[in-house]
Amino acid sequence: MIFDPFYLLVIGTGMALSFYASSITKSRFRKYSQYTTRSGLTGAEIAQGILSDNNIRHVRVERVSGELTDHYDPRSKTLRLSESVHDSNSMAAFGVAAHEVGHAIQHAKSYSMLSFRSSWVPVANMGGGLSMIVIMLAFILGGAQSATGSSLSWLGVLLFGCTTLFTLITLPVEFDASSRALASLKSGNYVTDKELDGARKVLNAAAMTYVAAFVTSLITLLYWMFRLGLLGGRRD
């Protein structure tokens, strides 16, 4: 267990997936940030427009520092857009701004998966913080080969599974936000078909980061189940 090449393979695969997804997202964002849109509206103006189109009056739009730090905060009902989105009239800015508004629309319409994800955050955080401690104790006590070790093994993978479930829940939430974003851009006549295609490509690339996070978490969970002897027998 001190040195496990299989573990390095699992971690390496996860890191490679995450790096690839992140690289594609940044590359697409930078590429389509160079193409300005016909309307000349900024990301902030697009966000305000789509919010208004959906009769959402209580969400503030704010500028934040950093690159791709855009997010919607349901607690304060605040849409925070990075400078490269808030002040830009590019295809990339349109896509990202509209995507974050998609989350605000989900919140306003009480989208069940968004509510579920929000309620699951503390559970996922607790699972992520405790899982490795419990898993290491399970190894010390023999994993699935002893009664106590077996109980701790299942507890450890259950805790880790809470974070895996969170990454799974995130997928439909993000895909739905992007779908709402593209539909809003089109129905509001904010973009041409070509501009909409550019925004779609940026959002598709961003979606890969969430897929990579889920796959990484899942293969890591399966690895620990395998090492603890919960899958395929004990592995010393």
Is 232 part of any domain?
A: no
Residue-wise pLDDT tens for the chain (236 aa)? 556 788 888 889 999 999 999 999 999 999 999 999 999 999 999 999 999 999 999 999 999 998 889 999 999 999 999 999 999 999 999 999 999 999 999 999 999 999 999 999 999 999 998 999 999 999 899 888 889 999 999 999 999 999 999 999 999 999 999 999 999 999 999 999 999 999 999 999 999 999 999 999 999 999 999 999 998 755 55
Q: What order of strands is seen across the sheet that includes strand 71-73?
A: 60-64, 78-82, 71-73
82: which strand partners? 64
Instruction: Say how far apart CA 82 and CA 62 lie, in whole Å.
Output: 9
Q: What is the CA radius of gyration of the chain?
A: 21
User: What pLDDT was estimated at residue 109?
Assistant: 94
CA–chain centroid gap for 187, Å, is 26
The region, left, alpha or beta by phi > 0 then psi within -120 to 50, assigned to residue 60 is: beta
User: What pLDDT was estimated at residue 48?
Assistant: 96
Residue 60 lies in domain: 5-227
Residues with Cβ within 8 Å of 205's Cβ and at least 6 positions away in sequence, in order, are: 21, 24, 25, 27, 28, 29
- Cβ atoms of 191 and 38 within 8 Å: the answer is yes
Is 234 part of any domain?
A: no
User: What pLDDT was estimated at residue 4?
Assistant: 76
Is 190 part of any domain?
A: yes
CB atoms under 10 Å from CB of 146, counted, come to 13
Is 236 part of any domain?
A: no
Instruction: Say how far apart CA 229 and CA 14 lie, in whole Å.
Output: 22
Is 146 part of any domain?
A: yes
Residues with Cβ within 8 Å of 210's Cβ and at least 6 positions away in sequence, in order, are: 167, 170, 171, 174
Is 233 part of any domain?
A: no
- Cβ atoms of 35 and 198 within 8 Å: the answer is yes
Is 235 part of any domain?
A: no
Count structural domains, the chain: 1
Burial of 66 (C-beta count, 10 Å sphere; 0-12/13-18/19+): exposed
The region, left, alpha or beta by phi > 0 then psi within -120 to 50, assigned to residue 73 is: beta
> What amino acid is encoded at 186 in this protein?
K
Just list the catalytic residues. 100
Cα–Cα–Cα angle for 105, 106, 110, rounded to 5 degrees: 115
User: What pLDDT was estimated at residue 233?
Assistant: 57
Q: How far apart are the first and last CA of the chain?
A: 7
Is 120 part of any domain?
A: yes
